């Protein structure tokens, strides 16, 4: 018996369609257009791919896309100056600074310079603190996309146990927070954890965001568990470049109850949630009613 495939690609298409529909309706009513600004410092090829995808999908969802490409040696004052201009620009409702930033820039200071209302990544301390205390705020896109997919398979998280592998500020920590806010019993593992296989075997839900190909093995997985693979790794397989996650997919799929593929799982949902966050920020900034986009209402199946 094989795991059910969690088709992030089609869920994401459904979320984007919902965003496009609401964005068009709000434009017809108000004449206003949601705008997303993406800031890329330096020329990381992978970041280029994401930034292009974000811009293209924003436009397809009826939004304006503003791309700011800055040289790798950009000074902090110039970057902060741009952030302040974007904060003050009424055409811009969402600001995303692509991470990682070059080492000479203080990513924390840059993120906290973004107006919390426009912080569509949900990385500003104000949004982090609010989500951490269970208040409504902008939720980071990747964990939000994971939660949307998980909710599809688990009506109620109470009584379930989850293991989150990785505790970065952009994925692991907010993921653990959201699961905890939903009354899931949450374990968080990282490089210093010595008993991950044992913890994993207790988990009904495993979310992995470590950046280690093949880390999660079939023997770790409780039969029927839901496995969410956030990892994005570019490797050589049989002499050819391949994109793989952190899960040994071919073996884990025979044990898990449901599993996300890479590509076509968490990645597309991350960008769809970015657009949903931008629409929501636009609504808040213009006194328009914001409706949460739920996968249950956007079921592509
Ligand atoms: N699909 C998507 O939309 C997104 C995908 N990603 C991908 O997700 C992965 C993680 O990203 P990100 O959180 O930014 O990465 P970071 O490198 O910031 O964090 C990785 C985390 O995993 C932990 N870790 C690393 N190796 C191991 C290991 N062998 N066992 C257990 N824990 C380990 C680290 O522990 P420690 O802190 O102790 O070092 C750290 O907490 C990457 O592959 C990235 O490309 C990221 C963002 C979005
Ligand atoms: N400020 C900031 N916010 C981010 O959200 C952010 C970031 N910085 N830095 C980098 C990571 C990574 N990330 C991904 C988004 C989409 C895919 C995605 O769509 N992946 C496709 C494959 C794309 C491909 O072929 O490369 C998939 O998994 O199917 C992957 C990874 C967002 N991140
Ligand atoms: Mg994100």
Tell me the domain boundaries of the chain: 29-117, 141-267
Distance CA 175, CA 169 (A): 9
Reported as type and span, the H/E element at residue 30 is helix 8-30
Name the pTM for this structure.
Answer: 0.97
For residue 55, give the nearest of 38, 74, 30 by alpha carbon: 38
pLDDT in tens, the chain (301 residues): 699 999 999 999 999 999 999 999 999 999 999 999 999 999 988 899 999 999 999 999 999 999 999 999 999 999 999 999 999 999 999 999 999 999 999 999 999 999 999 999 999 999 999 999 999 999 999 999 999 999 999 999 999 999 999 999 999 999 999 999 999 999 999 999 999 999 999 999 999 999 999 999 999 999 999 999 999 999 999 999 999 999 999 999 999 999 999 999 999 999 999 999 999 999 999 999 998 765 544 433 3
Alpha carbon distance, N-terminus to C-terminus of the chain: 21
Q: Is 232 annotated as a binding residue?
A: yes
Distance 209 CA to ligand 1 centre (A): 4
Q: Is 65 annotated as a binding residue?
A: no
Q: At the topology level of CATH, where does 29-117 sit? A: Rossmann fold (3.40.50)
pLDDT in the model for residue 297: 42
Mapping DSSP to helix (H, G, I), strand (E, B) and coil, where does residue 64 land? strand
Q: Is the CB of 166 under 6 A from ligand 1?
A: yes
> Does this chain's domain 29-117 share its CATH topology with 141-267?
yes
Place of tokens 């280029």: 48
Architecture of domain 141-267: 3-Layer(aba) Sandwich (3.40)
pLDDT in the model for residue 295: 54
Residues 16/22/24/25 CA torsion (nearest 10 deg): 160
142: left (phi over 0), alpha (psi -120 to 50) or beta: alpha
Q: Is the CB of 101 under 6 A from ligand 1?
A: no
Q: Is the CB of 260 under 6 A from ligand 1?
A: no
Mapping DSSP to helix (H, G, I), strand (E, B) and coil, where does residue 23 land? helix
């Amino acid at each position: 018996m094989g795991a059910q495939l969690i088709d992030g690609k089609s869920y994401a298409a459904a979320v984007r369609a919902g965003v496009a529909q609401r964005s068009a309706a709000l434009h017809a009513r108000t004449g206003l257009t949601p705008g997303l600004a993406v800031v890329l410092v330096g020329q990381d090829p992978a970041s280029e791919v994401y930034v292009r995808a974000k811009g293209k999908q924003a436009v397809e969802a009826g939004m304006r896309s503003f791309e700011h490409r800055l040289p790798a040696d950009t000074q902090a004052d110039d970057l902060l100056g741009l952030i302040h201009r974007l904060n003050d620009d009424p055409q811009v409702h969402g600001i995303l600074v692509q991470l990682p930033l070059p080492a000479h820039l203080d990513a924390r200071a840059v993120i906290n310079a973004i107006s919390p209302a426009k912080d569509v990544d949900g990385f500003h301390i104000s949004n982090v603190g609010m989500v951490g205390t269970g208040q409504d705020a902008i939720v980071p896109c990747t964990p939000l996309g994971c939660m949307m997919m998980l909710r599809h398979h688990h009506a109620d998280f109470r009584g379930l146990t989850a293991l989150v592998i990785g505790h970065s500020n952009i994925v692991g920590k907010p993921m653990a927070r959201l699961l905890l806010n939903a009354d899931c019993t949450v374990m968080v593992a990282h490089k210093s954890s010595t008993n991950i296989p044992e913890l994993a075997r207790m988990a009904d839900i495993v979310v992995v965001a470590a950046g280690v190909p093949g880390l999660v093995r079939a023997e770790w997985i409780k039969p029927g568990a839901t496995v969410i693979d956030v990892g994005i790794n570019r490797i050589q397989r049989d002499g050819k470049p391949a994109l793989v996650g952190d899960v040994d997919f071919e073996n884990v799929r025979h044990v898990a109850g449901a599993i996300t593929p890479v590509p076509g799982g968490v990645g597309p949902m991350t960008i769809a949630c970015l657009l949903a966050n931008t629409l929501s920020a636009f609504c808040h900034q213009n006194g328009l009613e914001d409706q949460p986009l739920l996968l249950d209402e956007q079921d592509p199946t």
